[in-house]
Amino acid sequence: MEGGQVPKQKVLFICVHNSARSQMAAALLNQTCGEFFEARSAGLEPGTINPLVVEALHELGIDISKKTTQRVFDVWKSGQIFQFVVTVCSEAEAEGCPIFPGITSRLHWSFDDPSKFTGTHEERLERTRRVRDEIRAKIDSFCEGHRGASKE
């Protein structure tokens, strides 16, 4: 490695449709502490990216409008090694995730699913922002823990 750089740890975020929670988590981790981590996302039954998520992340200067969804089993079949696999769906949904080879840590962070929000556009956007902010707080804590460990 050049200049003694430590290789980035790979993180995979998984939710059901890869349309909201996992997309937000990967984008926020890459933005917040991309110097330590390289994040990807995938879903059990990928759909299309939720436009409210695109809008909520755009408010933070993050553009995921060109992103596509991925099947978690396609990522699994690729054989890529992840140091962290993080499920961001319900506990029951997380049970459907494959076991990845070489994992050092599997985490579960449960967040509400924006695809299930009802109401006006503004009401659904506000709830999506809340989920975004909850994910961001979890990402900040995750990054802080890693920064502290890397200084030791």
Place of tokens 């430590």: 6
Which H or E element spans position 105? strand 105-108
Contact 71, 43 (CB under 8 A): yes
- How many CB atoms neighbour CB 64 within 10 A? 17
Q: State which amino acid sits at residue 69.
A: T
DSSP state at residue 116: G
State the catalytic residues: 15, 89, 97
Is residue 21 within 8 Å of residue 135, measured between CB atoms? yes
